[in-house]
């Protein structure tokens, strides 16, 4: 039964009702082919919020994603706006021309069912699951760096007139219930008593108490919370962790942008970096006799470096050709002798994004270990002592990133620091 307060036209879909819904959409029906009664439907959602169905027909398949009127993992005790589906589809539309093949194609949006019908990504897998299995995806770091560069540059003041950006800010500012989730679960709850928090206990009890008693750390995390709420630099995905990326050996796609809003570019950069670092620290928990995962950790670090380098070089290349916005416009730097000043101003912007990326990465790492929503990279480590060691090392790294940012001048500094934080 839908929650009280949901529109009367809304109903929760299930495997039995999805075929009739799809059959009512002639173009999608044609894509699947055959008759609705012959289609195979599976519910495959494993995220925290929504229903996801895969529908397969004789000529093709589609993915159907529906918002529930509550948080899926918490049940009806945590009501949640259905409008998130509308923000997700609005984000896809806003970045589609900038990012091209890096997002799935959207075939249909139903505003009454809060449901998106889109390209079924197969044989793609969720990156987080691939990382747990020790799989390598040669393009993923480079592709996600390019993705964030393209999506953020073309929605920023560096590329667009401010009027367009202000309209975007107004639209996505209405995504306030999901912004509230991030404020609470990323920037506040991990650092205070909250019934929603959990951690591996008793092994991490002392570390968690120490973290919640560390004033400097809490102030640093709050500074990034303030940035999150105040720096409307560009349209950001808002939840770009390794569970929001689907991959094959060659191909990379970004999914699940329901948390989208105008915010700091470093928030998306930090989400992806932080989740790669969590994966790196979780690897000893997935080692076997045949594979100690040390080589795999090296591969993750290569991806970390490729990710940042690809973001940086792509952002600068786009800027060189598209400086038509209101901040540092090319029209202000037309004399040959202006070139040096312009180049160093752009370099300074990239340096600030690097610093922001590290701080947001740290916040994202901490929330996944001591907050409400954990990650299977750690949760699937059965031995709780081993899991706590992996999590403790990741927490040590995150705390250093937040409280000693001056130690990190380059992405290589980050890579070099990771093994120094390992706990025995």
Considering beta carbons, is residue 50 or 303 the nearer one to ligand SR1? 50
Considering beta carbons, is residue 155 or 242 the nearer one to Mg ion? 242
185 contact, one of Mg ion, ligand SR1, none, CB 5-8 Å limit per kind: ligand SR1
Considering beta carbons, is residue 47 or 264 the nearer one to Mg ion? 47
Considering beta carbons, is residue 143 or 256 the nearer one to Mg ion? 256
71 contact, one of ligand SR1, Mg ion, none, CB 5-8 Å limit per kind: ligand SR1
Considering beta carbons, is residue 176 or 404 the nearer one to ligand SR1? 176
183 contact, one of ligand SR1, Mg ion, none, CB 5-8 Å limit per kind: none
181 contact, one of ligand SR1, Mg ion, none, CB 5-8 Å limit per kind: ligand SR1
Strand partners, 54: 42, 63
For the bound state, the minimum distance from the C-beta of residue 185 to ligand SR1, rounded and expressed in Å, comes to: 4
Cβ distance 220 to 358 under 8 Å? Answer: no
- The footprint of ligand SR1 (CB under 6 A) covers 48-49, 71, 181-182, 185, 239, 373
For the bound state, the minimum distance from the C-beta of residue 325 to ligand SR1, rounded and expressed in Å, comes to: 30
Considering beta carbons, is residue 88 or 160 the nearer one to ligand SR1? 88
Considering beta carbons, is residue 32 or 370 the nearer one to ligand SR1? 370
For the bound state, the minimum distance from the C-beta of residue 255 to ligand SR1, rounded and expressed in Å, comes to: 11
For the bound state, the minimum distance from the C-beta of residue 72 to ligand SR1, rounded and expressed in Å, comes to: 8
- The footprint of Mg ion (CB under 5 A) covers 47, 256
Considering beta carbons, is residue 316 or 373 the nearer one to ligand SR1? 373
For the bound state, the minimum distance from the C-beta of residue 71 to ligand SR1, rounded and expressed in Å, comes to: 4
For the bound state, the minimum distance from the C-beta of residue 239 to Mg ion, rounded and expressed in Å, comes to: 5
For the bound state, the minimum distance from the C-beta of residue 238 to ligand SR1, rounded and expressed in Å, comes to: 8
For the bound state, the minimum distance from the C-beta of residue 47 to Mg ion, rounded and expressed in Å, comes to: 4
H, E, C per residue of the chain: CCCCCCCCCCCCCCCCCHHHHHHCCHHHHHHHCCCHHHCEEEECCCCCCEEEEEEECCCCEEEEEEECCEECCCEEEEECCCCHHHHHHHHHHHHHHHHHHHCCCEEEEECCCCEEEEECCCCCEEHHHHHHHCCCCCCHHHHHHHHHHHHHHCCCCCCCCHHHHHHHHHHHCCCHHHHHHHHHHHHHHHHCCCCCCCCCCCCCHHHHHHHHCCHHHHHHHHHHHHHHHHCCCEEECCCCCHHHEEECCCCEEECCCCCCEEECHHHHHHHHHHHHHHHHHHHHHHCCCCCCCHHHHHHHHHHHHHHHHHHHHHHHHHHHHCCCCCCCCHHHCCCHHHHHHHHHHHHHHHHHHHHHHHHHHHHHHHHHHHCCCCCHHHHCCCCHHHHHHHHHHHHHHHHHHHHCHHHCCCHHHHHHHHHHHCCC
């Amino acid at each position: 039964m839908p929650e009280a307060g949901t529109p009367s036209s809304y109903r929760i879909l299930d495997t039995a009702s999805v075929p009739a819904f799809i059959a009512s959409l002639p173009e999608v029906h044609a894509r699947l082919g055959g008759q609705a009664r012959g289609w195979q439907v599976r519910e495959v959602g494993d995220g925290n919020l929504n229903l996801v169905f895969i529908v397969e027909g004789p000529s093709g398949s589609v993915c159907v994603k529906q918002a529930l009127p509550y948080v899926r993992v918490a049940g009806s005790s945590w009501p949640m706006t259905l409008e998130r589906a509308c923000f997700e589809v609005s984000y896809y539309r806003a970045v589609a021309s900038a990012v091209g093949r890096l997002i799935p194609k959207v075939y249909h949006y139903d505003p009454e069912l809060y449901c998106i019908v889109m390209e079924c990504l197969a044989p793609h897998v969720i990156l987080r699951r691939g990382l747990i299995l020790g799989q390598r995806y040669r393009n993923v770091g480079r592709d996600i760096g390019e993705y964030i560069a393209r999506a953020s540059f073309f929605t920023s003041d560096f590329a667009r007139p401010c009027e367009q950006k202000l309209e975007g800010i107004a639209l996505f500012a209405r995504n306030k219930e999901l912004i509230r989730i991030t404020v609470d679960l990323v920037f506040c709850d991990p650092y205070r008593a909250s019934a929603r928090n959990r951690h591996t206990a008793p092994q991490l009890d002392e570390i968690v108490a120490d973290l919640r008693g560390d004033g400097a750390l809490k102030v640093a995390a709050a500074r990034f919370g303030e940035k999150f709420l105040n720096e409307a630099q560009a349209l950001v995905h808002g939840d770009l962790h390794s569970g929001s990326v689907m991959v094959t050996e060659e191909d990379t796609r970004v999914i699940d942008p329901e948390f989208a809003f105008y915010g700091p570019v470093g928030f998306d950069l930090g989400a992806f970096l932080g989740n790669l670092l969590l994966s790196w620290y979780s690897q000893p928990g997935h080692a076997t006799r045949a594979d100690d995962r040390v080589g795999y950790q090296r591969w993750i670090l290569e991806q970390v470096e490729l990710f940042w380098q690809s973001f940086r070089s792509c952002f600068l290349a786009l800027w060189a050709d598209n400086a038509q916005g209101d901040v540092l416009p090319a029209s202000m730097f037309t004399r040959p002798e202006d070139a040096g000043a312009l180049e160093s101003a752009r370099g300074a912007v990239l340096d600030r994004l690097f610093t922001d990326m590290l701080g947001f990465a740290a916040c994202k790492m901490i929330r996944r270990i001591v907050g409400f929503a954990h990650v299977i990279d750690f949760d699937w480590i059965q031995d709780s002592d081993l899991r706590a060691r992996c999590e403790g090392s990741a927490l040590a790294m995150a705390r250093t990133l937040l409280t000693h940012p001056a130690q990190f001048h380059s992405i290589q500094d980050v890579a070099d620091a990771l093994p120094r934080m390992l706990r025995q």
